[in-house]
Amino acid sequence: MSRFDVWAPRAESLELLAAGRQYAMERADGGWWRLPEDAAVPAGEVDYGYRIDGADKPVADPRSRRQPDGVHGLSRTFDPAQHSWTDAGWRSPGLSGGVIYELHVGTFTPEGTLDAAAAKLDYLAGLGVDHVELLPVNAFNGTHNWGYDGVLWYAVQESYGGPAAYQRFVDAAHRQGIGVIQDVVYNHLGPSGNYLPQFGPYFAAAGSNPWGDSINLDGPESDEVRRYIVDNALMWFRDFHVDGLRLDAVHALHDERAVHILEELSAATDACAAELGKPLFLVAESDLNNPRMIESRTRNGLGLDGQWSDDFHHAVHVNLTGETSGYYADFDSLGALAKVLAGGFFHDGSYSSFRHRHHGRPIDKEHVTTRQLVVCTQNHDQIGNRAAGDRLSATLDYGSLALAAVLNLTSPFTPMLFMGEEFAASTPWQFFTSHPEPELGEATSQGRLREFERMGWDPEIVPDPQDESTFTNSKLLWSEVEEGDHARLLQLYRELIRLRRQEPELTNPDLRAVAVDFDEDRRWLLLRRGRVTVAFNFAEDERRIEAGPGRLLLATDPDAKLDGALTLPRKSAAVLRRQGEGTA
């Protein structure tokens, strides 16, 4: 494929505008258009666009790598080979149970750029994270956005620094010993700057999902649409040295073909990993609770390396906050948390009162490992989709935040942190947009209000997503990391991550090696992983728990004691190694 080839089966005529000149393109096989062999487009960096059927305004390349003037402007060529990589010695650990740190480029630092984020990588290395996961960075309209309104999947948002800055970020992360996971959205496009329908049938003829028109994965001419997705995934691996992709809301990918698009992505990723000689992985966001997502392709699974488990978040959230509305209702017990810890899912064929039906199926512990489930106590959705975008730190005390930290970082699964949770950030994480079109901005603001009114929230506490303060209020305050309980919690996170690396039981991939005991009435729970036991007291009073002889490895409260039995103060947790092999 040459640099200006474009798939446009709907076009009757197509002209390339490049470097201020116009070139008539020729139709080729399969709906593709190419330049004539004698077309002399200048070499090097070129601004360009396509005039479809004689239209006055040229539109961007669907595979554009740069949009210096926004998604409604011309594309600009970008040569990824111009970057001199320094990460030849980098060895990705893959999805091995290490800690993932989810961040949004625009609000992680005051500057909101990739270069500014790269300057904070030493902090993340000191924290001990294994991978940083970037929320979507593909080009969107406006100056700031969550990232889920992107319309040009191959272009890195210019206000973040564009593709060259992205390469610098990944290179810097690898130098710090940190892998990079990119969040990608293949289930919908944003509402402004989406010109794909002018080129071809990128969207399904009928049907939509909650965020927009469904992608054409199984209809007529869907072969090239699927190729568009697969090629994009491979671009992140090859041109940007990304280690893994997080696939947004895969339950919204409607595909009735015999080989599902996720299976196709999985096979292409494995082939690319073999070609590049390094681990590459895919993690799905899925609310289906279907283990087939992460079963191997040889077992008729889709072959993804991991998936999010929302059930873990819900069980932790309810047991710490007492909130039981909506989808939280079924998780109102320590028993629910115990079931998730031991089995990965709570809804494994059980009745879901939120869905008014049975949901999910059990995980086969012989073929699925603990590392394949990515869990968290906070993430961009679970915070940002609250009316006020309030974090756990807005309502919970230090003891409860410490419980959340221990639950996440000693769980059997792959733990993920959301930026700022490690120091109890006081800033909210709110839903923000910057749609330049007044009518779209108004529709977004009013739609947000109606959504929360239906859920019974006070509209007075719902921030206007179009107000710039909603965006700026969501930026982290880095001065907090050295203050009071913020610094105290940060130190706990560092110690927990160190302990997770130090104690092999905490990353044992065998789900069959997990045992849980709990007392619903007395509100304590024991998570047993080999000779390591993690004890939790969710009660408002001290609890004395028979945990067996051993030594205390970590406690969130200095008054915790192990003297035959374990004494845990209110809202506290402890990690101990039971007496026997490996005990000092």
Q: Which residues of 543-553 are buried (b: 16+ CB within 10 A; e: fewer)?
A: bebebbebeeb
Q: How far is CA 182 from the centre of its chain?
A: 7
* 317, 413, 495 from 498: Cα distances, Å: 24, 16, 5
Q: Residues 504, 364: contact at Cβ < 8 Å?
A: no
Number of C-alpha atoms within 13 angstroms, CB side, residue 264? 19
Q: Residues 372, 376, 381, CA angle at the centre, nearest 5°? A: 110
* 186, 228, 471 from 433: Cα distances, Å: 20, 27, 8
Q: 305 forms bridges with which residues in the sheet?
A: none
* 31, 205, 242, 536 from 139: Cα distances, Å: 25, 25, 18, 44
Q: Which residues of 79-89 are buried (b: 16+ CB within 10 A; e: fewer)?
A: eeeebeeeeee
Q: Is 248 a catalytic residue?
A: yes
**Annotated catalytic residue: which of 285, 310, 330, 505?**
285
Residue 40 token pair: 């002399």
Type of residue at 286? S
Q: Residues 267, 98, 344, CA angle at the centre, nearest 5°? A: 75
Q: Which residues of 33-60 are buried (b: 16+ CB within 10 A; e: fewer)?
A: bbbeeeeebeeeebbbbbbbeeeeebbb
Give the 3-state secondary structure of residue 564. coil
Distance CA 141, CA 153 (A): 13
Q: Residues 173, 120: contact at Cβ < 8 Å?
A: no
Residue 156 token pair: 């890195």
Q: Residues 497, 99: contact at Cβ < 8 Å?
A: yes
Q: Residues 543, 524: contact at Cβ < 8 Å?
A: yes
Q: Residues 458, 495: contact at Cβ < 8 Å?
A: no
Four-CA torsion 149, 98, 363, 290, nearest 10 degrees: 10
Give the 3-state secondary structure of residue 282. strand
From the list 103, 200, 194, 110, the residue with the least C-alpha distance to 155 is 194
**Annotated catalytic residue: which of 130, 213, 239, 248?**
248
Q: Residues 384, 431: contact at Cβ < 8 Å?
A: yes
Distance CA 470, CA 99 (A): 29
Instruction: Please return the burial class of 456, using the count of CB atoms within 10 Å of its CB with bins 0-12, 13-18 and 19+.
Output: exposed
Distance CA 487, CA 48 (A): 50
Catalytic residues: 248, 285
